[in-house]
């Protein structure tokens, strides 16, 4: 593994651990970045456990740095570091530095936009430009959100600890949102390789920890089920040449049966609790997709109707239109998309292009594909759109 | 320990609370004060007279001038506040929740490090 992949894989874990050791997120980030700089100079080949090396180095570098400084915070952090037992004493139900850090990053006293940006930066190890692309906003805006959030955590004294049992219901929804977004960025990366397995794996790992922590929260189980059922289809998502394969064209024998079984089991557990929420419904939709030899689109559409009533967002409306096309035909779906407004999101023109193509309105479809390609940031997705556009120019029936 | 300012604001032109509501507010506020004192969170607190009783003092070129009325032409004015001492924002927010239930929206603002006892 090269240093860049190690950085990607280990950054979040290392920052989370150092934040516990130092009691300060900014110091933690500086220390971890210092350690990676040292690694760049020292490593001929990476050690067997690069994460542990980084944590130890970061801890030592932080201690050096704190000894040179004499501010109150520095003395406080130094005292914390020196008196830290090797194995952390756990006081709450969260047994994981990263989960603890997620709850801090998703504190309700922070602005919602800032929570996601901060979590992706600190736990996902995403750089500011990557987050900006993921949210279709300016780099400067993202950077500012992160700086402000970290400043508020420090200045206002947002604690770096596990929320108490009774606080969890309030603290949970923002955490779920962030894990969902982290997985999404991994599954449909804004740049570079289409699929960032590390982010997907990390989001699933954290979702599993949450589910173990809160086994009676159906939305936690719903989120985990959704992530597992989506992850299960990943092996079939790209063809051997690296081109994107649409759900309906995927080779179902490549799907991960173990993850599907686990996801279906979770969906059934959710149904028994009959307290539906957006994640559970999306999980149920994924369950329908992965059930049997073909998708029962009527059932999918019924679930999307339910989802749209619960979460009337343009993205849900867009996804629902795909199901509408399968049940009622592309013309009805196209009409359903008329009022959907998602500026800057390539999937809206891409979906319109598919529908127009199916209606034989080739010129309009080509224009919509062009629009989608101009907006798509991922090379694999752009190449997929180009291929679909090229198919249009061939006479129908030819292969 | 950190110190936080919990301030209650009143909006100009908002309907005045009834006597009964005022009584409840005083009773609840008294209860919160007692609890803050009992748990050691209390530093200071009090209610303020209406903003039209305020005077602003300025010194320009060594000369003090005074003007009648509050600082700014805003619709919101501080009606009362607490200064509390606690471990972190979560504890301050828990107090703020009690205060807000008694007196309406509360702004929680940390004191600068330098002014911490």
Identify the bridge partners of residue B60 per DSSP, sorted by sequence position: B63
Mutate to test the interface with A, among B2, B86, B87, B88 (most CBs of A within 10 A): B88
A109 to chain B, any CB pair closer than 8 A? The answer is: yes
Note the ipTM here: 0.81
* Residue A396: pLDDT band with limits 50, 70, 90: low
B113 CB neighbours in chain A (<8 A) are 72
Q: Which two tokens stand for residue B100?
A: 């807000």
pTM of the model: 0.72
pLDDT at site B53? 86
Region A342-361 average pLDDT: 93
Identify the bridge partners of residue B77 per DSSP, sorted by sequence position: B10
pLDDT at site B71? 83
Task: Pick the residue from chain B with its C-alpha nearest to A156.
Answer: B110
Percent of chain A beyond pLDDT 70?
89
A163 CB neighbours in chain B (<8 A) are 90
pLDDT at site B94? 93
> A16-25, A115-124, A169-178, A291-300 — which one is most confidently predicted on average?
A291-300
Identify the bridge partners of residue B83 per DSSP, sorted by sequence position: B5, B44
Which of B89, B110, B113 has its CB closest to that of A159? B89
> Is A156–B108 a contact, with Cβ atoms under 8 angstroms apart?
yes
Task: Pick the residue from chain B with its C-alpha nearest to A104.
Answer: B90
Region A49-53 average pLDDT: 89
CATH of the domain at B103: 3.30.70.1060
Region A330-344 average pLDDT: 93
* Angle subtended by helix axes B19-39 and B89-103, to nearest 10: 160
What integer best gives the mean pLDDT of chain A?
A: 86
pLDDT at site B117? 45
pLDDT at site A321? 96
Question: Using one digit for the tens of pLDDT, what is the confidence trace for A165-211?
Answer: 788 778 888 899 889 988 988 887 766 666 777 778 878 988 997 88
Q: Which of A223, A332, A344, A331 is nearest to A284 (CA)?
A: A223
Residue A92: exposed, middle, or buried by beta-carbon count in 10 A (0-12, 13-18, 19+)? middle
3-state helix, strand, coil in chain A (%, to 5): 70, 0, 30
Are A67 and A8 spatial neighbours (Cβ–Cβ below 8 Å)?
Answer: no
- Least confident residue range of A244-258, A279-293, A313-327, B60-74: B60-74
* Residue A385: pLDDT band with limits 50, 70, 90: very high
pLDDT at site A254? 94
Question: Using one digit for the tens of pLDDT, what is the confidence trace for A66-92?
Answer: 888 767 666 776 766 666 655 444 333
Mutate to test the interface with B, among A151, A157, A159, A171 (most CBs of B within 10 A): A157
Return per-residue pLDDT of chain B as tens, 117 residues: 899 999 998 887 888 889 998 899 999 999 999 999 999 999 999 999 888 888 889 999 988 888 888 887 778 889 999 999 999 999 999 999 999 999 889 999 999 865 444
CA distance A204 to A180: 9
A171 CB neighbours in chain B (<8 A) are none
Residue recorded with tokens 């009409």:
A335
Number of domains present in the structure of chain B: 1
Identify the bridge partners of residue A128 per DSSP, sorted by sequence position: none
pLDDT at site A84? 60
Task: Pick the residue from chain B with its C-alpha nearest to A167.
Answer: B90
> Is A167–B90 a contact, with Cβ atoms under 8 angstroms apart?
yes
Region A9-20 average pLDDT: 86
Which of B2, B93, B113 has its CB closest to that of A109? B93
Chain B residues bordering chain A (beta-carbon distance below 8 Å): 2, 87-90, 92-93, 108, 110, 113
Q: In terms of pLDDT, which residue wins out, A140 or A178?
A: A140
Are A121 and A96 spatial neighbours (Cβ–Cβ below 8 Å)?
Answer: no
pLDDT at site A91? 37
Are A224 and A208 spatial neighbours (Cβ–Cβ below 8 Å)?
Answer: yes
Residue A329 has pLDDT above 80, yes or no: yes
Domain coverage including residue B42? 2-73+81-115
């Amino acid at each position: 593994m090269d240093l860049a992949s190690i950085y990607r894989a280990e950054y979040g874990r290392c920052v989370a651990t150092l934040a516990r050791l130092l009691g300060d997120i900014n110091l933690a980030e500086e220390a971890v970045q210092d350690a990676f700089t040292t690694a760049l100079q020292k490593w001929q080949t990476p050690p067997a456990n690069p994460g542990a090396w980084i944590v130890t180095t970061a801890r030592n570098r932080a201690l050096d740095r704190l000894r040179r400084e004499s501010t109150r915070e520095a003395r406080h952090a130094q005292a914390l570091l020196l008196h830290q037992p090797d194995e952390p004493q756990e006081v709450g139900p969260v047994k994981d530095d990263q989960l603890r850090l997620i709850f801090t990053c998703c504190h309700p006293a922070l602005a919602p936009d800032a929570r996601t940006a901060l979590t992706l930066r600190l736990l996902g190890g995403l750089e500011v430009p990557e987050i900006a692309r993921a949210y279709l906003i300016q780099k400067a805006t993202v950077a500012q959100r992160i700086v402000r959030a970290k400043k508020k955590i420090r200045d206002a004294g947002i604690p770096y600890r596990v929320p108490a049992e009774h606080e969890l219901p309030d603290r949970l929804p923002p955490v779920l949102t962030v894990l969902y977004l982290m997985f999404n960025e991994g599954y449909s990366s804004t740049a570079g390789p289409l699929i960032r397995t590390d982010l997907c794996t990390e989001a699933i790992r954290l979702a599993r920890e949450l589910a173990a922590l809160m086994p009676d929260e159906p939305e936690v189980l719903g989120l985990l089920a959704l992530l597992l059922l989506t992850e299960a289809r990943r092996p079939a998502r790209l063809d051997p040449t690296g081109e994107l394969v649409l759900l309906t064209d995927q080779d179902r024998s490549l799907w991960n049966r173990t993850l599907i079984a686990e996801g279906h089991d979770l969906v059934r557990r959710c149904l028994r609790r009959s307290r539906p929420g957006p994640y559970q419904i999306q999980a149920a939709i994924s369950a329908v997709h992965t059930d049997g030899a073909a998708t029962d689109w009527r059932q999918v559409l019924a679930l999307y109707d339910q989802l749209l009533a619960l979460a009337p967002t343009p993205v849900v409306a867009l996804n629902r239109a795909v199901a509408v096309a399968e049940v009622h035909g592309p013309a009805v779906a196209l009409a359903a998309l008329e009022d959907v407004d998602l500026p800057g999101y390539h999937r809206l023109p891409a979906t319109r292009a598919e529908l127009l193509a199916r209606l034989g309105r080739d010129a309009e479809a080509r224009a919509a594909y062009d629009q989608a390609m101009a907006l798509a940031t991922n090379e694999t997705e752009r190449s997929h759109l180009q291929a679909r556009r090229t198919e249009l120019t061939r006479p129908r029936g030819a292969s | 320990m950190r110190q936080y300012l919990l301030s209650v604001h009143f909006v100009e032109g908002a309907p005045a609370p009834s006597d009964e509501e005022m009584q409840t507010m005083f009773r609840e506020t008294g209860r919160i004060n007692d609890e803050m004192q009992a748990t050691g969170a209390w530093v200071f607190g009090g209610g303020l007279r209406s903003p039209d009783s305020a005077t602003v003092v300025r010194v320009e070129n060594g000369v003090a001038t005074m003007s009648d009325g509050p600082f700014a032409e805003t619709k919101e004015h501080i009606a009362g506040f607490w200064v509390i001492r606690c471990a972190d924002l979560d504890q301050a927010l828990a107090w703020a929740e009690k205060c807000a239930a008694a007196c309406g929206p509360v702004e929680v603002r940390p004191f600068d490090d330098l002014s911490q006892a």
